[in-house]
Structure formats: C-alpha cells, structure tokens
Structure 1
Amino acid sequence: MLNIVLVNPEIPQNAGNILRTAIATEAVVHFIRPFSFSLDQAHLRRACLDYYPKRQVVIWESVEDFLKENGEKELFLFTKKAKKIYTDTDYRDKKEIFLVFGKESSGLDPSLLLKYPDRLLRIPTSSSVRSLNLSNAVAISVYEVLRQKGFDKEWL
C-alpha cells in the first residue's frame, strides 16, 4: 500500500491536487495537524473535481501520534537537505510505503530528519529555485514508486 504523508500542509490547493493524485493511484493520504484549512474547503474539493468522495484520508493530531503507529514502517522523508536522490531507492520489495513531506514554507522539522537519517530523499532541482511545488514533488515520487513496482495495478 502506498501512503502519502503531509506534515502540517499550508496550502489547500496543494492538498487538493495531492488528493487527486492519491485517488488516481489508490494511495492513502495522511494529514498531520496542525494544518490551516478544512478538508471540506472549496479549494480542496475543486482540485479533486468529482473524485473527492473517493479519497482515502487519515488525520493525525501530531507527528508523535503518527510515528507511534507507523514509525517502524517503510518511511521515506523528502527534503532538499538529503544526499540521496529519490530514484536511487529500491521500492520494489516494500509492501507498505510512506512518502513523507513537510510544509510548503519550511519542509520537515530537523528533529524528524535526525531521527531517520538513512531515509532522507531529495528530488534534484537547479539552484535557481528553492524547492518544487509540494503537489508536484508528491506526484513525482508517487509515480517513481509505481514505475519501479511495474505499474502492476488492475486499473492499467
């Protein structure tokens, strides 16, 4: 199972685009509080179009709560500070994958990065930008996991 984890997301349109990608790939989206929007907000629903009712969402009150339940699973944390590129990870034999992304303005908390130093990944970009849009970064990473797994879903 593929899981997308959004730690303190800030922009509802990004969350909506990510939900649409998740619906298209049968992934579960985990929202970790705090976040500044309602999951029923119009911007979110608009980005998902009429697929919104098909979403699979889990809401966590804190990073600590999420880690208590999932901290020993296959977590991959995306940060521009990582040395390893996301395509250099072999996802093929992993059963339950969690792709973890931080808030748009500042990324993941440094304490989380220190907790999982061998699970840090980055998407390479030129130095002309600080970062990719969050929903684009999620889509890139989700489809890399699916590509490596051979797109073996019945919906292909």
Structure 2
Amino acid sequence: MSENPPTKAPWLPPRWFIRTAWVVHRALYRVTGGRFALQRARPEHWGTMRLTVTGRRTGRERPVILAYVEDGPNLTTLAMNGWGEGDPAWWLNLQAHPDAHVVWPDGERLVRARAAEGAERERLWTLWRENNKDLEAYASRRATPTAVIVLEPRDG
C-alpha cells in the first residue's frame, strides 16, 4: 500500500509584493472610480469589494479592497492578512467599531461585522474552500486560525 506523496505548499509571493499589490489595487479603485477594481462573486470564484472601516485609534475612515463570497443577504470575507501572521488592521478596527460601509459590484451597503463561530464558521469555511482549492494549505501557514467575517446588512 503506497502513501500519497506530501503535497507542496502553494507558492506565495514575498510579503513586500503582496503589500504593494494592495496599494496598487486601492489606487486603481480611486483612479477608475471603482470600474476595474471590483469584481462580482461567481459560484466558483470569490469577488472583490471595497470595505471602509473606522480606525480604532484615529477614528478616521480606512478603506481596504477584500475578497468576498455571498451567503444569502450577507457578505463574508477572511481575515487572512495576506496569509501572514496576526490579524489584519481592518479586522482589528472592525472589532472595535463593527459598523462599516461596503461598495461592491451590486452597489453600496451599510454593514455590521462579526466573526462566524462554530457550525456557521465551518459551513462558511467550506464555502470558501469551494472557491479556492489551496485554502487549507494557505491557512496552514498561519499559527492561528483565520477568522471568517460575516458582514450583515444594517439600516442607516
């Protein structure tokens, strides 16, 4: 009986490249008015949205471009920090100020953020895994679990 050979971890670009890509993506959003930076989610692939949060220390608006997957009326995203250690600043900000604003291909929306827990987290993780075959391998690069964030519509 033979064992499967160990799978090689998927390649990730260096951290400086990932951070530069985030800056370029936000600039592309600003320059084009969002026409080329946002992408609608499809059943087999995540989309991109612009999330604006309130800074936990400064109180200023902090925009970030993130991947999302729809879950009924909610949008979900992963607090992956480019698969680096620690939580991304936008998630730390949302923990302090959970009300935020989303711009996505279907329009704009006010949202309230929370971390998915238990069975809901497992269900949403599976949904994300359907969109990225390497999700488990990327997540294994982090010492801590990757939070699955639920952005629920809110009035206002």
Please tell me the TM-score bracket, short chain as reference. Answer: under 0.3
Q: TM-score, normalised by structure 2?
A: 0.26
Larger Rg, first or second structure (1 or 2): 2
Q: Which has the higher helix share?
A: 1
Q: Which has the higher strand share?
A: 2
Structure with more relative contact order (C-alpha pairs < 8 Å, separation 6 or more): 1
Q: TM-score, normalised by structure 1?
A: 0.26
